[in-house]
């Protein structure tokens, strides 16, 4: 089989996600760290951006954006399947992937860059990556310049020193939700990991590498989460998992996690889409579940992500009429109902949202 090339950074959650995806797909690949040379000569030249991961196909095509990479490679290499085959579960998998990629990342970044020990560790990691293979680049300059660019992107995302406590507490709640699911289920995908598992793995694997984050993810009260990490990695190594529970979690098992997803990320995404209809720029303030006021910049990127997710949900609901069942579907559909006329291009979603209990 021909070989792929994967460009990564050491502290990129999306790099971890795609690396694990390629390993579980049993696709041969060569891994290259982004540095100050190839970020311009390869990444920007091939994709117009310097963000990783970037996958170069055996035919010399270039792909970026971890979600688009997984969808493209799933079509190219159908087996082993890393997205559920049942339409409803496939739609739910897309919701969970989107939440991990676009919401959990805010807690990961806030914890990483607003705790000094974590920030210093990552300044060193970035400098090491950027100067590896580029010996003419000054290490001190790389350690200072590039992290400043990353930190400047956090406040528009709503990841600020003021929101740090909320985001970390929300992360703790997520870890408890996942641990409860993994007490009775091997993976979110059931017998084998799904892309949603890998999206969570990417974010949480980065969290557990940081001094502060390691104490959160490594909490001894979360033994099932630790087992899940190990089983994802065992499957990537083609080893048998520890857990013998191979059925996918049902709607009741998923309900606490889904309520968290709906009351945070989906509520934000819906409010953002509606706000952009009124004014393309400015600050968005949305009251999340529990009465928490969350502030971020209005973001066209997040509207684009929501549109892509709605396409997935439309296909899922048109084919099967549900995602995982009422306990899991209700919170998602109730939040999406807030889009009102913006749901008109998605008739199956609009119908399900109207009929969902609010």
Q: Which pLDDT tens digit goes with each residue over 110-124?
A: 999 999 999 999 999
Reported as a single tens digit per residue, the pLDDT across 7-55 is 999 999 999 999 999 999 999 999 999 998 999 999 999 999 999 999 9
- Average model confidence (pLDDT) for the chain? 96
Residue 1 has what pLDDT?
Answer: 64
pLDDT tens-digit series, residues 163-208: 999 999 999 999 999 999 999 999 999 999 999 999 999 999 999 9
Residue 100 pLDDT: 98
Q: What is the CA radius of gyration of the chain?
A: 20
Reported as a single tens digit per residue, the pLDDT across 290-300 is 999 999 999 99
In the chain, where are the structural domains located?
4-76, 251-355
Q: 175 with 217: CB under 8 angstroms?
A: yes
What is residue 298's predicted lDDT score, i.e. its pLDDT? 97
Look up tokens 């995404």; give the residue: 269
β-strands 54-56, 283-288 pairing: unpaired
Q: How many CB atoms lie within 10 A of CB 28?
A: 11
State the pLDDT at residue 24: 98
Instruction: Return the CATH superfamily for domain 4-76.
Output: Glutaredoxin (3.40.30.10)
- CA-nearest of 296, 310, 300 to 350 is 310
Q: How far apart are CA 171 and CA 105, in angstroms?
A: 10
pLDDT score for 131: 87
| Residues facing 5 on adjacent strands | 30, 56
pLDDT tens across 247-276, in order? Answer: 999 999 999 999 999 999 999 999 999 999
Q: What percent of the chain has pLDDT over 70?
A: 99
Residues with Cβ within 8 Å of 332's Cβ and at least 6 positions away in sequence, in order, are 92, 95, 258, 261, 262, 266, 323
Any residues with CB less than 8 A from the CB of 74 and at least 6 apart, and which? 81, 82, 83, 195
């Amino acid at each position: 089989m021909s070989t792929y090339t994967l460009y990564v950074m050491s502290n990129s959650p999306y790099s971890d996600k795609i690396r694990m995806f390629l390993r579980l797909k049993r696709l041969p690949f060569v891994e290259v760290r982004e540095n100050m040379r190839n970020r311009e000569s390869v990444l920007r030249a091939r994709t117009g951006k310097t963000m990783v991961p970037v996958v170069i196909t055996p035919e010399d095509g270039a792909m970026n954006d971890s979600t688009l990479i997984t969808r493209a490679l799933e079509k190219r290499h159908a087996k082993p399947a890393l997205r559920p085959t049942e339409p409803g579960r496939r739609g739910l998998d897309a919701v969970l992937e989107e939440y991990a990629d676009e919401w959990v990342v805010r807690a990961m970044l806030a914890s990483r860059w607003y705790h000094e020990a974590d920030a210093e560790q990552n300044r060193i990691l970035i400098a090491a990556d950027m100067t590896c293979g580029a010996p003419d680049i000054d290490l001190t300059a790389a350690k200072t310049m590039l992290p400043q660019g990353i930190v400047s992107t956090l406040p528009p995302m709503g990841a600020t020193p003021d929101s740090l406590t909320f985001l970390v507490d929300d992360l703790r709640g997520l870890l408890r939700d996942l641990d409860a699911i993994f007490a009775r289920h091997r993976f979110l995908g059931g017998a084998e990991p799904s892309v949603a598992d890998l999206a969570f793995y990417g974010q949480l694997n980065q969290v557990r590498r940081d001094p502060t984050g390691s104490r959160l993810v490594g909490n001894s009260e979360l033994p099932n989460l630790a087992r899940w990490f190990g089983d994802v990695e065992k499957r990537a190594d083609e080893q048998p998992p520890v857990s013998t529970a191979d059925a996918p979690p049902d709607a009741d098992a998923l309900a606490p996690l889904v309520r968290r997803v709906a009351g945070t990320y989906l509520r934000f995404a819906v409010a953002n889409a509606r706000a952009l209809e009124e004014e393309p720029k400015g600050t968005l303030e949305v009251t999340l579940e529990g009465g928490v006021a969350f502030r971020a910049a209005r973001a066209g990127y997040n509207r684009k992500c929501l549109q892509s997710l709605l396409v997935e949900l439309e296909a899922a609901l048109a084919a099967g009429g549900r995602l995982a069942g009422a306990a899991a579907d209700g919170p998602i559909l109730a939040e999406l109902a807030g889009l009102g006329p913006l749901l008109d291009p998605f008739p199956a979603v609009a119908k399900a949202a109207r009929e969902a209990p609010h």
